[in-house]
A and B are shown apart, each in its own frame.
Chain A
């Protein structure tokens, strides 16, 4: 049981390049989230998904796109990277409401450190 995994772990991009970050979870969670973490700040939600085929914007969605084609995977895309997107990106997942499990307990992956030059 790997939990939440993220690939790649590190990446350096030039301004204007594109890339996709992959998140995978094997806990059968309905909800998945993408956050960014910058020095001295808490986690900021970029986009989230409450189920396969659905996505929604979080607090800081500009410059990012996401897709949830399979329940276990959540992709984060940067179409045209900018230096302001230099950050550590975390994926998380959680259960949904309506069952015996509580939906607010999010489980995190190890992060992807992205540098845009």
Chain B
């Protein structure tokens, strides 16, 4: 089936550092979504992107819809302890019936 390559798989960072992660595919997407999952919880939507080239912010989070429509990036500025968790990208293919393709997740860990 279709795949999204999400990287890195995990990140160990210091509090206050900026974080970058991305998702890439060989397929074209109409929509990119970024979710965060806390332990024992369901994923929560952070940012939705609907146009190629779109740059959208949600507080310290910024996400971009790649111009080729095959990738997306998420940046977190000045990380804080509550940013720990797993971040997932999800894309909706141009010819899908509202199904989403999911990345495997990026686990963010903040060093004490």
What are 29 residue pairs bridging A and B, where the CB atoms are less than 8 Å apart in the complex? A4-B42, A42-B4, A42-B6, A42-B104, A42-B105, A43-B43, A43-B102, A44-B102, A45-B99, A92-B42, A96-B98, A97-B98, A102-B50, A103-B98, A104-B31, A104-B33, A104-B92, A104-B98, A105-B33, A105-B45, A105-B48, A106-B33, A106-B100, A109-B42, A110-B40, A110-B41, A110-B42, A111-B40, A111-B42
Question: Do B104 and A41 have beta carbons less than 8 Å apart?
Answer: yes
Number of interface residues of A (CB under 8 A): 27
- The majority secondary structure among interface residues of chain A is loop
With contacts A103-B98, A104-B31 known, what are 16 further pairs, Cβ within 8 A? A42-B88, A42-B103, A43-B102, A45-B99, A45-B100, A50-B98, A59-B1, A90-B42, A90-B43, A104-B48, A104-B92, A104-B98, A104-B100, A105-B48, A108-B43, A111-B40
B17-58 vs A, Cβ < 8 Å mask (1 yes, 0 no)? 000000000000001010000001111110010100000000
Q: A97: which B residues are within 8 A, CB to CB?
A: 98
Q: Roughly how many angstroms separate A21 CA and B9 CA in the complex, as a whole number?
A: 30
- The majority secondary structure among interface residues of chain B is loop
Can you name the residue of chain A whose Cβ is closest to the Cβ of B41? A110
A64 proximal to B (CB < 8 A): no
Can you name the residue of chain A whose Cβ is closest to the Cβ of B1? A59
Interface residues on B, range: 20 to 34
Q: Roughly how many angstroms separate A40 CA and B105 CA in the complex, as a whole number?
A: 8
Q: Roughly how many angstroms separate A44 CA and B44 CA in the complex, as a whole number?
A: 16
A58 proximal to B (CB < 8 A): yes
| A residues neighboring B (CB under 8 Å) | 4, 31, 40-45, 48, 50, 58-59, 90, 92, 94, 96-97, 102-111
Q: Roughly how many angstroms separate A105 CA and B42 CA in the complex, as a whole number?
A: 14
Question: Do B45 and A107 have beta carbons less than 8 Å apart?
Answer: yes
Given contacts A42-B88, A42-B104, contact A102 B48 (CB under 8 A): yes
Q: Roughly how many angstroms separate A31 CA and B92 CA in the complex, as a whole number?
A: 15
